[in-house]
Structure 1
Amino acid sequence: GFGVGRGKTEKRKFTMGREYPVVPPRSLASLCDQIAPLLPIPVFFLRRHSLSLLRKVQLLSLVLRSVTASSPSASSALCLRELHAVLTKALNLVQFCHRSSRVHLLLLLPQLSIHFHDIGLDISTVFDVLPPGFLLDLDLRENALLLRRRSEPPCDPKGDRLRHEIIAVLDELRHERPPDPEDLRRIFFELGLQNRDECDDEMERLREVMMKTEEQEPEPSLSLVDLFCVVRYAKQLLFGIECSGASSVESADWESEKEEPEIPEDYRCPISLELMRDPVTVSTGQTYDRSSITHWLETGHVTCPKSGQLLKNTELVPNLALRSLISRWCTEHSIPFDESSEAAGAGGAGTLAVINSKPAIEATRLTALFLVDQLRSDLPSARTHAACELRVIARSGSPLIRAAIVNAGAIPLLVPLLDCGDPVAEENSVTAILNLSIHDGNKEPIVSAEGCLEGIIRVLRFGSTETMRENAAAALFSLSSAAALKERIASEPGAVDGLVELVRSGSIRARRDAVSALFNIATKKDNVPRVVMAGGTDAVVELLRETDGGLAEEAAAVVAMLARQADGIVAVVAAPGGISALVWVLRTGSPKAKEHAVAALLELCRHGGQDALERVARAPLLVRSLHSLLYS
């Protein structure tokens, strides 16, 4: 890649008296031939600079191809070597301009102009110091003189004026003022961005740069994320909703949904089973995410959720070492770690960028408000398209954006799409609700919205695609993490039954989210009988021998939770192969799964009565497995 700094260029030193490897002139001519087809750069504000470079490169190619000296002097060899460095720099610069977006190049105009200017001067400098005897032919000397002529002025005036106008737009957004639509239209038309397709191409270029390079811009106003959000806002504001092809809208945004990396089990909170953002340790030595254990304690519990031991106190000690490890893992997998971003919610943790600067947040908020208004459209395709765009925005948005979408009335407008008969609209709607539910402040409004919970459950049970059912399960998982909503969700007809059905027959992702939702629901003791009656115990016991996707560990956590209540104990003991499956986990499971299995077996022995105690005692290989745990 080509790094653009503040416009300072390296002053190359021509050191004499050293031997340098010879760079053949024809190799330099071939390098010129790589540069020439890429010029001029197809943006008006770099046209003069790139045309000037094109003329120099073409002349230089003629000169180099005509050189006949087979053994250049040491000084000539040095000049050719320096020329190779200059041409390589020129090729990198031109390639950078070709793969970058127009609006990004515009904001970098002063630096790029200086780079083009200095490359031209460097080419002239090389020929200034080239020994006279190197160019024997008179025509070559005349061509070399042409290469020494003037370079273009550092900056295109019209482009510089447009650059200041873009900066003014970013400044308006930074102060939470919407930019004037007519000013925005004029700027975009002058840049050649005159329809949705051209804006989509611009966004795709910005997305590719964000994926391939680390952002090293000198000023916050040059943030690629800011520019992306401004282009997305302008696309919606200036060119409206495209009412065809709504199902493919996601291809225009950088937040395309991908397979998420598997979260290491030590980094998951034992309560929520989500990635810990603020790990804290309680008096028993167990570590939880601060928000999860705080909810646990606020609901009146006085025991450690994982071990069942009585807590000596409610002090939460930050686990800084683990937090550092989790932060490093998130960085390696491009997953935002800052707790304020809340970007690692259920059903998908990672995004390529987090919207957290003022211009990006305000541009995204304005875009979201426009899209919420489009959900009121009479056109079904417009509503579907708006739901899809909101789905994408909510996935990577800040808490402020997610809250703004819900406060603007999005949930009641998304609910009808959950049962509209269009699979694309239904999938976009349930996924948008999932992504909005990541923000804790949105959970209550989502559950309270008329028909919303019912609609999510309908998609969970009868959705026409696997992705719809997966995202419905993830939405229930996310919503059920709120302590005040566990009972309301569990009491909704079909909720627990639908989750149990998915545990039995869903995809790996669907089963994982369904098991996690059952765990959240079961942490409320009054919900345990509902899980048992729906056949949840048998379903999760069957997963204890599962080897794919870490399901055995999550299933063991649910069994351990159920075993804390009398109804759950009876169900675990009665489940076909339940005790032997727990022993199997003791022998073959992960460390976390083994802890859950031991906790479940301990509860059966303590509170399951004589029958349960005898069944556990008779389990084959139990003693050997316990001994192995003690000495491992």
Structure 2
Amino acid sequence: MTSQSIPPPPRRILSLPAIAPCESVSPSALLSSLLSLAADVSSSDSIPARCPTHRRAVREALRHVAILSTFFADIAGSDLPASAVLGLSELHVTLQRLGHLLRDCSRRGARLWILMNSGRVLSELRVLLRSVAVALDVLPLDSLALSSDVRDTVSLLSRQAWKADLKPDPADERAAEAVRSALAAFAGAVPPDGVELKALLRRLQVRSWSDCGDEIAFLEEQLLDYSTGDDGEAVLLGNLTGLLVYCRATMFKADGVEARKEPRLEEQRIGGLNPEAFRCPISLDIMAEPVTISTGQTYDRASIVRWLESGCLTCPVTGEKLRSAEFVPNSAVQRIINQYCHYNNISAAGSNSGSRKRDLAKTSSPQSPAAAGATRMAVAFLVGRLHAGSDGEKNRAAHEIRLLSKSSIFNRACFVEADCVPWLLHLLSTPDPSTQDNAVAALLNLSKHPSGRAAIFEVGGTGLVIDAVSEGLKAEAKQNAAAILFYLSSVEEYRKEIGEIPGAIPALVHLLRRGGYRGKKNAIVALFGLLLSPGNQLRAVAAGAARALVDLLGDEREDLVNDCVGVLAKMAERQEGADAILAASPDVLQSLVGVLQSSTSRSGREYCVSVMLSLCDSCGAKVVGLLEKMPLLMPALYSVVAGGPPHASKKARSLVNYIHRFHDQEDFPSAAALPPPPPAAQDRVVHAR
């Protein structure tokens, strides 16, 4: 029913899965597969060059595979006895696992981890080579049509494989000792030997800022998996991450921003995408394994398989009858989803790759004293560059701070404690767009920490952030500055003072009108936070927030519309806000009804009901009369009454009763506000059973 080309799930490093051939496989088919498998492994001539560690062991393994390849070629075409299937099957499994191991040893980004797990790597390799010896011993070599040279070589290989005594390269041992020495120095708050660290990085072929970043990214991903498991492994991963963070910050200062410029531009595009587009139309979860069916629609693999297996042979979206029940992986969508998950710190592992967020709570403390020491030394170095570096060094330091503070609470606390915030605020007035962008993004990350918010506010940085919202040199700087205001507005004292700054709310309203998706999104949530202070309601009305929000009710992005309705609900609680909403557009009520009818979000529907209920409370018959004439409103309200959460159901019931009372009254005063409905009116609502 499914396509043959669906890829297997990702494999954890040094896990060596293999699929055994079926028992009924013919010897000739098995031999053909072995030839292909051995050629795939032995043709990787570049593996030793890409393996900075364990080179002797890797070469020895490749020598074994080359001899086996010759052996397979020598018996190809000859009649093989059925008794050969067992030995050949064992070789098939062993070669699969050996291929995984060699690829892991040459894996980009995993070099330091492989070095520090040398014992495990060599142990796995010994087991695999001895598995080769076992399989060769099981094979009936005397019954095979082998040339004498090949027979002698295979017999010698079997004896050597049994006795294989793989040991670490001396250079690997020296490199591992340099790592342990550096970690001990970090634990004692002493800078490590720079010469030793440079030699270590040369040994690992970590030659650039980007190489170091790849190593850090790999370790952080591994740490995510191990953080709830083996504590010893988590400590090792944390130590190695701290070491590489220190190296990247202090030893690769020349190419930091430049080396990452294009990937960061790609990240900015990815970060502005609407995650609703990644959801499977069947399950409504973000797709873990997107596949495309014959109609061109894309679904999550597990969901469409269940759909087809249930006997449904139509496209769930279009209703079109499927020409074929096969589907193919949509690698383009998969790549975009993976990039989106990485950009937003979402784990891509598991059956629902978009549903499991990284648990930042586990980053509030370091894994060990060594990891803490390495981080603090890197932080001190970077803050020093912000203070006394050249313009280029300040930009690179801000960029590094931006990265290190993105997904670690401990890192954020370290930067705040090191007085990083004032220097980053100083960079907001720079004429260089890249430097300003990096500084704003770094401040955004620090504003997520309570001490970071306090630091920004207490040094008078709020005005500089507002200036960045209105006059930022890049769109990304403006939208990130708006996000900073959102985090600052989470503190009651701060939101009041932010609102009193003359340009604060107008800057957000302007971004709401002119910004891109992420800019609008951040401006909306920042406005919502500021409106929690009663004094900011009138300021938002004066700045034209109601008109800007109402104009977005027709936007195609549902999450943006729901956020807008949430802010309108807050504004409508006051008479001035309700009047401004009604004056914003003659079709505002119709737009609200449309959102209520079409929204799939419970909170969005509740916000719609709240807005209309507040408008009825504030403006009376003028609003109720218009709502009563909208035929689509009542079914949508009854849906909320019957199936919404209690709070939303209560609001919807009140709005229904308003409309019923207006309909029943013959002499309703057109200018007066409606009084609250009497308790008896509740009986008019039909409850679903």
Q: Paired residue for 1:72?
A: 80
Q: 2:26 aligns with which of 21, 29, 44?
A: 21
Pair 1:139-2:149 in alignment: yes
Q: Which of 46, 56, 68 is matched with 1:48 structurally?
A: 56
C-alpha distance in 1 between matches for 2:413 and 2:374:
15
How far has the Cα of 1:460 moved from its partner?
1.2
CA distance in 2, matches of 1:597, 1:455: 35
Mapping of residues 195-210 of structure 1, within 5 Å: 195=207, 197=208, 200-204=210-214, 207=217
One-letter amino acid matched to 1:506: G
CA 189–436 in structure 1, closer or farther in 2 if over 3 Å, else same: closer
Alignment of 1:452-531 (within 5 A): 452-531=461-540
SS of equivalent residue, structure 1 residue 99: coil
Q: For 1:63 and 1:339, locate their aligned partners in 2 and report how far apart those are by CA, in whole Å.
A: 53
Match of residue 409, structure 1, among 419, 426, 431: 419
Structure 2, unaligned stretches of length 5 or more? 1-9, 277-346, 640-689
Count of aligned pairs: 545
CA deviations 1:586-608 (Å, max 9, x no partner) are 444444233223223333333x3
How big is the shift at 1:390?
Answer: 0.6
- Counterpart amino acid of residue 469 in structure 2: L
2:411 maps to amino acid: I
Q: TM-score, normalised by structure 1?
A: 0.76
What amino acid maps onto 1:627 in structure 2? Answer: M
Q: Is 2:249 the partner of 1:236?
A: yes
Match of 2:567 in 1: 558
In structure 1, what is the equivalent of residue 353 of structure 2?
A: 332
Question: Which SS does the other structure have where 1:83 is aligned?
Answer: helix
Instruction: For residue 126 of structure 1, give the secondary structure of its aligned residue in structure 2.
Output: helix
Alpha carbons 1:418, 1:429 under 8 Å: kept: yes
Change (3 A) 1:383 1:622: farther
Find the counterpart in structure 2 of residue 627 from structure 1. 634
State yes or no: 1:98 paired with 2:106.
yes
Q: Does 1:166 align with 2:176?
A: no
Structure 1 residue 153 corresponds to structure 2 residue 165: yes
Native 8 Å contact 1:249 1:389 kept in 2: no
1:433 aligns with 2:440: no
Match of 1:525, SS? coil
Task: Give the whole-Å Cα distance in 2 for the aligned partners of 1:207 and 1:11.
Answer: 27
Tell me if the contact between 1:215 and 1:223 (Cα under 8 Å) persists in the aligned partners. no
Task: Letter of the 2:626 partner, please give it.
Answer: A
Deviation (angstroms), 1:62: 2.2
Q: Which residue of 2 aligns with 1:314?
A: none
Indicate if the aligned counterparts of 2:210 and 2:259 stay in contact, CA closer than 8 A.
Answer: no
The residue type equivalent to 1:426 in the other structure is: Q
Per-residue CA deviations over 1:174-201 (Å, capped at 9, x if unaligned) read: x574552347526525624464x1x532
Residue of structure 1 aligned with 2:193, choices 177, 181, 185: 181
Contact 1:544 1:552 (C-alpha < 8 Å) held by counterparts: yes
1:444 aligned to 2:454? yes
d(CA) in 2 for partners of 1:330, 1:367: 37
Q: Which residue number in structure 2 is paired with residue 191 of structure 1?
A: 203
Contact persistence 1:250–1:256 (CA under 8 A): no
Partner of 2:240: 227
| 3-state DSSP of counterpart to 2:603 | helix
Letter of the aligned partner of 1:65 in structure 2?
A: A
Quote the offset at 1:386 in angstroms.
0.6
C-alpha distance in structure 2 between counterparts of 1:14 and 1:184, whole Å = 48
State the TM-score, normalizing by the size of structure 2.
Answer: 0.70
Conserved 8 A contact 1:586-1:625: no
1:572/1:579 contact within 8 Å kept:
no
Instruction: Check if 1:379 corresponds to 2:387.
Output: no
Do structure 1's residue 34 and structure 2's residue 44 form an aligned pair?
A: no
In structure 2, distance between residues paired with 1:57 and 1:476: 61
Note the C-alpha offset of 1:102. Answer: 1.9
Give the distance between the partners of 1:3 and 1:497, measured in 2 at CA: 50
CA contact (8 A) 1:246 1:381 kept: no
Distance 1:506 1:112 in 2: 52
Hey, what's the Cα distance between the residues in 2 that align with 1:106 and 1:628?
A: 66
Contact 2:546 2:580 in 1 (8 A): yes
Separation (CA, whole Å) in 1 of partners of 2:546 and 2:127:
73
Q: For 2:107, give the aligned amino acid.
A: R
Distance 1:448 1:214 in 2: 35
User: CA–CA distance in 1 between the matches of 2:136 and 2:164?
Assistant: 18
Distance 1:586 1:130 in 2: 72
Q: How well do the aligned residues superpose, as a CA RMSD in angstroms?
A: 3.8
Verify the 8 A CA contact 2:395 2:434 in the aligned structure 1: yes
In structure 2, the residue corresponding to 1:619 is in which secondary structure? helix
Instruction: Tell me the SS of whatever aligns to 1:631.
Output: helix
- Give the 3 Å change call, closer, same or farther, for CA 235–558 of structure 1 in structure 2: closer
Kindly indicate whether residue 123 of structure 2 is the aligned counterpart of residue 114 of structure 1: yes
Give 3-state SS (helix, strand or coil) of 1:375's partner: helix
Tell me if structure 2 keeps the 8 A contact 1:215–1:224.
Answer: no
Q: Which residue does 1:320 correspond to in 2?
A: none
What is the percent sequence identity of the aligned residues? 25
Shift in CA distance, 187/459, structure 1 to aligned 2, threshold 3 Å: same
Gaps of 5+ in 1: 265-325, 343-353
Deviation per CA, 1:520-553, whole angstroms, max 9, x where unpaired?
1111101111111111122222223333242222
In structure 2, do the counterparts of structure 1 residues 225 and 250 end up closer, same or farther at CA, with 3 Å as the change threshold? farther
Give the equivalent residue in structure 1 for 2:377.
366
With over 3 angstroms needed to count, the CA separation of the structure-2 counterparts of 1:619 and 1:391, relative to structure 1, is same
Say whether 1:593 aligns with 2:604.
Answer: yes
Could you tell me which amino acid in structure 2 is paired with residue 416 of structure 1? H
- Equivalence map 1:226-305=2 (5 Å): 226-237=239-250, 239=251, 241-242=253-254, 246-249=257-260, 258-259=270-271
* Residues 509 and 545, structure 2, Cα contact 8 Å, conserved in 1: yes
Q: What are the Cα deviations for residues 424-471 of structure 1, in whole angstroms up to 9, with x where unaligned?
A: 111111111111101122112112224x22222222112232212211
State whether residues 4 and 112 of structure 1, in contact with CA within 8 Å, keep that contact through their aligned partners in structure 2: no
Distance 2:125 2:602 in 1: 59
The one of the two structures with greater contact order (alpha-carbon pairs below 8 A, sep at least 6) is 1
Shift of 1:74: 2.1
Provide the rounded CA distance (Å) in 2 between the counterparts of 1:574 and 1:54. Answer: 77
- SS state at 2:554 partner: coil
